[in-house]
Structure 1
Amino acid sequence: MSPPSAAQPRPALFLDRDGVLNLDRGYVSRWEDFTWVAGARAVVRAFNQAGWWVFVVTNQSGIGRGYYTEADMHALHDRMAEDLAQDGARIDAFYFCPHHPEAAIEALRHPDPPDRKPNPGMLLRAMADWPVDRAASFMVGDKTGDMEAAARAGVEGLLFEGGDLRAFLKAQGRLP
């Protein structure tokens, strides 16, 4: 989906991918290895229906490390989008960072990539690309780096430690 040219700001739900939307099995890059976290599709649909933007912000150092290609990652994201569409849900945009300080691919090696969490670059890019109500937005991540990126981007961070994502957000009072 492309950012709207003239729309009113809306709150955004920023979601880490591995460990929040899907089970983190380490460098997930193929649909065959992908398993949704319980409640994840319902959460995306609920926030869509409530009029929120939903963005994925994901470190993908597996690309820089040479474990899989950017095309592999895009194919996986396309399959995620197709699966969500069957539930009447959507991710408005996927932001990813293939860079890493020790990347095997020299072009993706960077000592401190601005988009790699805990840096806030992906969240800041989403907020620059889309009309986001920053004060009403928040991020769900499963690592302290996700929380740091959220704080540095000026949004609340919620640390998800596994289980059912919908139940987690309901218990936090954050489910629309």
Structure 2
Amino acid sequence: MKTKALFLDRDGVINIDKKYVHKIEDFEFCEGIFELCDFFQKQNFLIFIATNQSGIARAYYSEKDFEILSSYMLDEFLKKGIKIEKIYYCPHLENCECRKPKPGMFFKAQKEFNIDFSLSFFIGDNLSDMQAGINAGIKNLFLINENYKDEENYKVCKNLKELLHCLKDKK
């Protein structure tokens, strides 16, 4: 049986994007992220994070720093009863296959977890996220960014609470 997945970008979706966040004290969860994940988890979606982390290649922080922060983040989700299945990240600066807008991280998850992209969702906060979702063939794409309007391939919401409200209305 194919798996339904919720993919989340990190900076700007899970946490407030303060540019190259790599310390626990700078990590601030976005309002509504736990409620959103709980909503999907209750519908048997596996939850994944797909994030570009070019700060590693830029030497702003190390892969170890990223791992420490990721461990903290996963623990905070678990405290709320939410399991994040896996974090996929691209530490590169150059144009590689895993760096969004390329779909490499999504294809890796699809292969590892037998994911059906036609049943899956991806929530990001910039156009390269949406392009990555389109390139992967993910059917349900949501852009959290009030500076844009809905497009043919994705819907725009100003924040996670608005997105959750829209999703609950569809049920």
Note whether the superposition's TM-score is higher than 0.5.
Answer: yes
Give the partner amino acid of 1:28.
Answer: V
1:117 and 1:134 map into 2 onto residues whose CA distance is 17
Alignment match, 2:19: 26
Which residues of structure 2 form unaligned runs of 5+?
Answer: 147-157
Q: Could you list the runs of 4 or more consecutive aligned residues of structure 1 that deviate by over 3 angstroms after TM superposition?
A: 172-176
2:60 equivalent to 1:67: yes
2:104 and 2:169 map into 1 onto residues whose CA distance is 24
Alignment match, 2:162: 167
Alignment match, 1:109: none
Root mean square deviation, CA, Å:
1.7
Q: Assess if the C-alpha contact under 8 Å between 1:43 and 1:175 holds in 2.
A: no
2:106 and 2:164 map into 1 onto residues whose CA distance is 20
1:166 and 1:154 map into 2 onto residues whose CA distance is 25
2:119 equivalent to 1:136: yes
Give the partner amino acid of 2:47.
Answer: V
With structure 2 as the length reference, what TM-score do the two structures score? 0.87
Q: Deviations over 1:91-129 (max 9, x none)?
A: 11100000012xxxxxxxxxx211000000001111111
Structure 1 residue 172, shift from structure 2 partner: 4.8
Q: Assess if the C-alpha contact under 8 Å between 1:45 and 1:90 holds in 2.
A: no
Structure 1 residue 174, shift from structure 2 partner: 7.9
Alignment match, 2:131: 148
1:74 and 1:174 map into 2 onto residues whose CA distance is 37
2:169 and 2:98 map into 1 onto residues whose CA distance is 26
1:45 to 22, 38, 46: 38
Q: Assess if the C-alpha contact under 8 Å between 2:53 and 2:89 holds in 1.
A: yes
1:122 to 91, 94, 105: 105
Check 1:58–1:52 CA distance in 2 against 1; reply closer, same or farther (3 A cut). same
Does 1 or 2 have the higher relative contact order (CA < 8 Å, sep 6+)?
1
Q: Percent identity?
A: 36
Q: Assess if the C-alpha contact under 8 Å between 1:61 and 1:99 holds in 2.
A: yes
2:162 and 2:10 map into 1 onto residues whose CA distance is 18
With structure 1 as the length reference, what TM-score do the two structures score? 0.85
1:79 and 1:25 map into 2 onto residues whose CA distance is 17
Structure 1 residue 42, shift from structure 2 partner: 1.4
Alignment match, 1:92: 85
* Aligned residue pairs, count: 159
Q: Assess if the C-alpha contact under 8 Å between 2:145 and 2:159 holds in 1.
A: no
